[in-house]
Amino acid sequence: MLELAADLDLEAIHSVYQQKDPRGENAYEPRMLVLLLSYAYGVGLSSSRKIEKACWEVADFRVLTGNQLPDHSRISDFRRHHLTTLAGFFV
């Protein structure tokens, strides 16, 4: 899964962040969130609350996130804002 990260083209996601006001809250690294969602879907988790819980409790998720703990609202917002781009990764 981690090898997949290097091959992903995340330019569409990065361009959205570059257009935002830099004084806002720092975003999580998009590559980490894409890997997190990919892995979560692969193991049957689709609920952002369950994914958040797994980031706290499951070693696999902690490795993928580098011990960062995105909350369910940030996971859900990322998924919603980048749904079209994410859909292209799952084809």
The mean pLDDT of 52-74, rounded to a whole number, is 93
Buried b (16+ CB within 10 A) or exposed e, 73-85: ebbbebbeebeeb
pLDDT digits (tens, 9 = 90+) for 15-57: 777 776 666 666 788 888 888 998 999 999 999 999 999 999 9
Q: What is the DSSP letter of 24?
A: S
72 burial level (CB within 10 Å; 0-12, 13-18, 19+): middle
Top-confidence residue, 89 or 73: 73
Domain map (residue ranges) of the chain: 28-89
- Furthest C-alpha separation in the chain: 36
Query: Is pLDDT above 90 for 76?
Result: yes
* pLDDT above 90: percentage of residues in the chain: 44
Q: What whole-number distance in Å separates Cα of residue 84 and Cα of residue 44?
A: 21
